[in-house]
A and B are shown apart, each in its own frame.
Chain A
Amino acid sequence: MFEDVSIFNQLLVERLNYFIYVVLLLIGLWAMIAKNNLIKKLIGMSIFQTAIILFYVSIGVKEGATIPIYLPEHDPHGSHIQLDSNHTELLSHGPKVLEASAVPNYTNPLPHVLMLTAIVVGVATLGLALSVCLRIYRGYGTVEEDELLEKLEREDSRRVGGSNKRRPRRRASANKGVTAGQSKRGPMSEKKNSDKPTTRRRQASKSRAKTNGPAKEQAKSSNEENGMSKPVKRRRPARKPKEDKS
């Protein structure tokens, strides 16, 4: 009982800053996992990132210290000629190491440096993510994850069901390139495709697969019907066209 109280005391009073970052981080994580809209997922990612940035900056706080810029009395720029306090004598000194007693007067510059670059790079990568979303919207007319999956599934089944005259020929030509080491490379490259863990990645790889010709996609859809990702299962449709051809 007493311990519980002290934990809450620690969380909400002494270490309130960390508590806020934890909450922000969880909001971002929740949005990334549970939200259905890709843009909302990106908003979650940004909140997550903000939590990390705030965390780093708060780590850099130091009681009784000033910002990491030298005060005039510690100014390292030594070649300037200055008058001393009585304005009678010219003082000139080269740059010198800050005395150890003055070091605690400045905060650690490192967290600020790291977060400075992280913010700008974060903006750039967020722009990249938004452009991928725009592209998905352009291709499928939606950024809702479930609608997107539905459309992809429908497209896959359409591709497998219809136009079966064109499919084997195209697949054969797609496989031609790997004929030499097919027994090794075929399944391996397919396995790489199937190892995408998250749904968003899967969409991305699928939209990529669209451009790669139907070979991989065919393999993928058959994989999905089976609900497995064993390379053995997936090799079968890929090998068939070769027999057809011969």
Chain B
Amino acid sequence: MKKTAFILVLCIGLLLAWAVQDFPAWGDPKSPASSSPVASHFIANTGVDTEVPNMVTAVLADYRGFDTMFETVVVFIAGLAVFSILRGGPKSRTRDREFVVDFEPDLIVTNTVRLIVPVIQIFAFYVLAHGHVSPGGGFQGGVAMGASFILIALSWDLKTALARFPIERCFTVAALGIVIYAGIGLLSLFLGGEFLDYAHLAKIFPVSPEMARYHAMLGVEIGVGFTVTAIMFALYASLSTDGRMRDGL
């Protein structure tokens, strides 16, 4: 088995090494990726289409909005699946005692976390809301936000974190995020555009079509942020306790 695997891996390695010769050089401005018409279209037209300075956000939430919506759905379904896989089924064969750790929350750790968590959360909001003009967006802000809850769970215990963000609320918030995203898409559909064609939101909001896209992107990013925050924490809570949602790390 191992021999076969080694030969297979070696063959693939040789093939890839051979193929590497045809790849563009490091940072070559004429490489297919850098000189493609799609890339130059995004770079040239993001500003006039959406007025968003950060092209990555514009491509993520607007040009490729459909893709991002279903990426968010994938995250949501993965979180739901982890929760249900670990919840149901046969009870653990290993003794429950094995998981129980007797400990007191450490004074220094908890007080440091008490100071840090608000800063992390404000930074997460900043990353989320400023995703248009600086690096950031829903995914990054959501992960930072989820990390703050995981930090609480690590420094106290899971119970403390779950008291602030119960697992049921996690999934409600995650679903709400997708509803926000799809709702903005549907709203633009009902206003006469295509699904996720935010420019048509200008019909009901007192802004230009470009600025409607700008602000709709913020709404979409908030939806993504909700889902990612909740699912990151739900993943941690499920995995660290083997689905029992108590004791744990």
Contact = CB atoms under 8 A, between A and B. Distances in A.
Interface of A: 7, 10-11, 14-19, 22-23, 25-26, 29-30, 33-34, 58-65, 67-70, 74-79, 95-98, 100, 103-104, 106-113, 116-117, 119-121, 123-125, 127-128, 130-132, 134-135, 138-139, 141
Interface string B12-25: 11001100110111
A73 B195 CA distance: 33
A131 B89 CA distance: 12
A77 B51 contact: yes
B20 A18 contact: yes
Contacts of B67: 117
Given A97-B47, A141-B93, A67 B135 contact: yes
B1 interface: yes
A121 B71 contact: yes
26 contacts: A15-B20, A19-B17, A30-B6, A34-B1, A58-B26, A68-B43, A70-B46, A76-B53, A95-B48, A98-B43, A108-B43, A113-B64, A116-B56, A120-B71, A120-B143, A121-B71, A121-B78, A123-B143, A124-B231, A124-B235, A127-B82, A131-B81, A131-B82, A131-B86, A135-B89, A139-B89
Nearest to A108: B39
Interface of B: 1-2, 5-6, 8-9, 12-13, 16-17, 20-21, 23-29, 31, 33-34, 36, 38-40, 42-48, 50-56, 58-60, 64, 67-68, 71, 74-75, 78-79, 81-82, 85-86, 89-94, 133-135, 137, 139-140, 142-143, 208, 210-211, 228, 231-232, 235, 238-239, 242-243
A113 B47 contact: no
Contacts of B55: 68-70, 106, 109
Given A64-B29, A117-B139, A124-B235, A103 B40 contact: yes
